[in-house]
Chains A and B, each alone.
Chain A
């Protein structure tokens, strides 16, 4: 008999209720305290942003967080240390890194994948490596046992979808609007339709993000999706409240988590 051990990401998405994926940028404020607040508030998956000088897919809130973090001198080693410490404090909470290709491949994809695995990272979202350029990072991540989490968008048509799903792991991040993070909101009906389309093509859980700010929105999406991603609204609290952000983060996370967990 084989003992099947579920990965942390699989566990998070195998519960009856939808999962809340909470994003903040590493090195922006007291990241350890902020991450603990997200967990205390009920976040099921932590998405930790790796700061980059040129965050092309991000709106003003996360751009500003990137600049604050880099301005404070955050390095790749710092990000990995934050992950390592988080893993020690929270052995069971899945942690994914989100960022852009250049900082991830600077020392070679194998180096990054090995360091991330050592730090207890479960998945990596790289915004600017589409399936066409998978070789740049994907094989290294898979070899290290890290899930490469791909993005699907409203522009990903049926013909293209299999290519996006091939080699994906952890969950599929459905970007609900064609645009940048934090700004527009997509209509729930279009999200429901898109999630149904994705689910008919894969068994990988579907998490929906971009433009999700309130418990009401998150709850509405959680009726259809396996997970809901909230980023800019949390990052704004860090920007606004600095060292006092943890209490605010926990409060918002709790209201989001309650809405997501009770949606269906």
Chain B
């Protein structure tokens, strides 16, 4: 029983709290619905048929397990500038090779199966960069359910290829003009739709945030990343990695990687937030490092906010990290000291992006480019026999226009 009590894996409690974070801060209209969702999720968890269908779709539709890859040339490159005996091995969990190009699809498969179990006939979702929107539209096409995606009007402009993808997949994309017209406003609009259509609509939340049980179930669906990686690493190297690294927007890819390792005391973990133009100003999206606890979008967590509790707009070169909050489990993992968090700037992420293109022939998304920047800083400091495992959670096709603009290239 001691093991249970001392575990980092037994969160949240029965009220959906991760320590003081998480919870169910929603309007009364939604409360009965999220209680229903929790009941249905518990039933699904103990239903072997649900797990079998989830696993089958992940294998044959998503293309799992994703490879575990030793990035030999990147390792060599980073070791060149390291002191004698330093320069850790860099390995990637290749979730950018999933169908739709990112880890987002893992969660969408799980949630749409839940929606179908609950008899819901209409799907809604919010999206920032468009990756979650594309993944949601994809599973909706796969299961023949109508789909409405809320996307900030600013993001619709910035991410037109993903908007077109969603439309091709049959989704209706609704540009949101309220507030700052970005991801948080899209989420507000999603919640407004949901509250007006509770009887038939399922809200597929894209990250490990929102009211309980979303943070828990999104984490669980994404934990396939860490479970696979743990087995793959053991079978390939006979040992566990020394350091896990992942980028954090809402935090679902990081939790997916970290969670299965949380009780492996020797495995260190580093979450990388979007530092934008630097943490000393307001132009960043680092909720943990530059925010304070508060309540938004159904959960208590660290938020970018002013002294009156008004939410401030995050900034990042990556539209997928540009959110003023973070999943509540990360807030708890930070305060409990189990996971360390850092931030890298837009500039550093851009360097990470180019580094990977050049050394490994992989074009990463700008989100994991943040994790790459942290890898590039950390690897030369660690002994050469150490292993860093990074979640390469998305591919960069969607970002080439942003990167070209930043590099001053006209396309």
Which residues of A does B touch, CB under 8 Å? 52-57, 59-60, 63, 67, 70, 75-76, 100-106, 127-130, 132-133, 136, 150-157, 160, 164, 175, 177-180, 183-184
* CA gap between A67 and B311 in the complex, in Å: 12
Contact partner of B309 among A105, A129, A155, A183, CB < 8 A? A105
B311-326: which residues lie under 8 A (CB-CB) from chain A? 311-312
16 extra interchain contacts, Cβ-Cβ under 8 A, other than A103-B310, A178-B197?
A53-B179, A54-B185, A70-B310, A100-B295, A101-B25, A102-B303, A102-B305, A106-B294, A129-B295, A130-B27, A132-B23, A136-B23, A136-B25, A155-B28, A160-B32, A179-B195
* CA gap between A32 and B191 in the complex, in Å: 32
Residues of the B chain whose Cβ atoms lie less than 8 Å from the Cβ of A151 = 27-29
Residues of the B chain whose Cβ atoms lie less than 8 Å from the Cβ of A177 = 196
A102 adjacent to B297 (CB under 8 Å): no
Residues of the A chain whose Cβ atoms lie less than 8 Å from the Cβ of B191 = 56
A105 adjacent to B295 (CB under 8 Å): yes
A63 adjacent to B178 (CB under 8 Å): yes
In this assembly, does B188 line the interface, its C-beta being within 8 Å of a C-beta of chain A?
A: yes
* CA gap between A130 and B15 in the complex, in Å: 12
B294 adjacent to A102 (CB under 8 Å): yes
A179 adjacent to B33 (CB under 8 Å): no
Interface-central residue, B30, B31, B294, by most chain A CB under 10 Å? B31
* CA gap between A55 and B311 in the complex, in Å: 11
* CA gap between A129 and B24 in the complex, in Å: 8
Knowing A132-B15, A179-B196 touch, does A157 contact B32 (C-beta < 8 A)? yes
In this assembly, does B307 line the interface, its C-beta being within 8 Å of a C-beta of chain A?
A: yes
Sort chain B's interface into a size bin: 35 or more
Residues of the A chain whose Cβ atoms lie less than 8 Å from the Cβ of B303 = 102
Residues of the A chain whose Cβ atoms lie less than 8 Å from the Cβ of B305 = 102, 106
Q: Which residue of A lies closest to B307 (CB)?
A: A106
Q: Which residue of A lies closest to B308 (CB)?
A: A76
Contact partner of B25 among A103, A129, A160, A175, CB < 8 A? A129
Question: How far in angstroms is the closest Cβ of chain B from A210?
Answer: 10
Question: How far in angstroms is the closest Cβ of chain A from B335?
Answer: 17
* CA gap between A129 and B311 in the complex, in Å: 17
Residues of the A chain whose Cβ atoms lie less than 8 Å from the Cβ of B298 = 128
* CA gap between A154 and B31 in the complex, in Å: 11
* CA gap between A102 and B324 in the complex, in Å: 13
Knowing A128-B26, A133-B25 touch, does A52 contact B310 (C-beta < 8 A)? yes
A54 adjacent to B29 (CB under 8 Å): no
In this assembly, does B60 line the interface, its C-beta being within 8 Å of a C-beta of chain A?
A: no
Residues of the A chain whose Cβ atoms lie less than 8 Å from the Cβ of B30 = 155
Contact partner of A178 among B23, B29, B294, B311, CB < 8 A? B29
- The B interface, classified by DSSP as helix, strand, loop or mixed, is mixed
In this assembly, does B132 line the interface, its C-beta being within 8 Å of a C-beta of chain A?
A: no
A sample of 8 inter-chain contacts (CB < 8 A) reads: A56-B195, A102-B294, A102-B305, A102-B310, A127-B27, A130-B28, A156-B31, A178-B197
Which residues of B does A touch, CB under 8 Å? 15, 23-33, 178-179, 184-185, 188, 191-192, 195-199, 294-298, 300, 303, 305, 307-312
Contact partner of A136 among B31, B192, B295, B308, CB < 8 A? B295
Question: How far in angstroms is the closest Cβ of chain A from B297?
Answer: 7
Question: How far in angstroms is the closest Cβ of chain A from B89?
Answer: 43
A156 adjacent to B195 (CB under 8 Å): no
* CA gap between A129 and B28 in the complex, in Å: 8
* CA gap between A24 and B307 in the complex, in Å: 23
Q: Which residue of A lies closest to B309 (CB)?
A: A106
Question: How far in angstroms is the closest Cβ of chain A from B355?
Answer: 37
Knowing A157-B32, A175-B28 touch, does A102 contact B198 (C-beta < 8 A)? no
* CA gap between A207 and B198 in the complex, in Å: 23
Residues of the B chain whose Cβ atoms lie less than 8 Å from the Cβ of A60 = 178
Residues of the B chain whose Cβ atoms lie less than 8 Å from the Cβ of A102 = 294-296, 303, 305, 309-311
* CA gap between A55 and B29 in the complex, in Å: 15
B31 adjacent to A160 (CB under 8 Å): yes
Residues of the B chain whose Cβ atoms lie less than 8 Å from the Cβ of A52 = 309-310
A53 adjacent to B311 (CB under 8 Å): yes
Question: How far in angstroms is the closest Cβ of chain A from B198?
Answer: 5
Knowing A54-B179, A57-B27, A151-B28 touch, does A178 contact B184 (C-beta < 8 A)? no
Question: How far in angstroms is the closest Cβ of chain A from B112?
Answer: 23
* CA gap between A175 and B303 in the complex, in Å: 29
A76 adjacent to B24 (CB under 8 Å): no
* CA gap between A218 and B197 in the complex, in Å: 25
Interface-central residue, B25, B30, B195, B307, by most chain A CB under 10 Å? B25
Question: How far in angstroms is the closest Cβ of chain A from B148?
Answer: 15
* CA gap between A91 and B210 in the complex, in Å: 41
Residues of the B chain whose Cβ atoms lie less than 8 Å from the Cβ of A127 = 27
* CA gap between A225 and B312 in the complex, in Å: 40
Q: Which residue of A lies closest to B178 (CB)?
A: A63
Q: Which residue of A lies closest to B180 (CB)?
A: A53
Interface-central residue, A67, A127, A150, A180, by most chain B CB under 10 Å? A180
Question: How far in angstroms is the closest Cβ of chain A from B161?
Answer: 28
A133 adjacent to B24 (CB under 8 Å): yes
Residues of the A chain whose Cβ atoms lie less than 8 Å from the Cβ of B29 = 57, 151, 153-155, 175, 178-179
Interface-central residue, A130, A157, A160, by most chain B CB under 10 Å? A130
* CA gap between A132 and B309 in the complex, in Å: 22
Q: Which residue of A lies closest to B32 (CB)?
A: A155
Residues of the B chain whose Cβ atoms lie less than 8 Å from the Cβ of A184 = 196
B28 adjacent to A150 (CB under 8 Å): yes
B33 adjacent to A155 (CB under 8 Å): yes
* CA gap between A83 and B215 in the complex, in Å: 38
Residues of the B chain whose Cβ atoms lie less than 8 Å from the Cβ of A175 = 28-29
Question: How far in angstroms is the closest Cβ of chain A from B333?
Answer: 21
